[in-house]
Amino acid sequence: MNPGELFNEFMHRFESLWGQDLASVDNEMRAQIRRVARSAFDKMDLVTREEFDAQCAVLARARETLERLEQTVRELQQQLPKQSPHSE
């Protein structure tokens, strides 16, 4: 569900929750409610499930690369000759 669909679903549920009470509100008030709700949704910076899953995959690959690099650094450090603190 994309952010626009999520907003529409929210408004549908909001209107059904208020039922007849919202029906008595004039169009200007309805429009104001929609503007406030839209503003709140826009500030949430929502992403689609597909975008979220793609970023999770990118993060997992980056994490794997980092772990391999850390292992390589450890192996290289073990290959360095041990230096005493006063040898410099």
Q: How large is the average pLDDT for residues 9-19?
A: 73
Alpha helix (H) ranges present in the chain? 3-18, 20-23, 27-43, 49-79
- Residue of higher predicted confidence among 87 and 80: 80
pLDDT level of residue 19 (50, 70, 90 thresholds): low
Number of H helices, E strands in the chain: 4, 0
pLDDT bracket for residue 85 (50, 70, 90): low
Percent of the chain's residues with pLDDT above 70: 78
Answer whether residue 88 shows pLDDT above 60. Answer: no
Task: Report the distance separating Cα 22 and Cα 85, nearest Å.
Answer: 78
Amino acid at 18: W
Secondary structure of 67-85 in the HEC alphabet?
HHHHHHHHHHHHHCCCCCC
Q: pLDDT at position 22, please?
A: 59
The pair of structure tokens assigned to 46 is 């929502």
pLDDT value, residue 28: 73
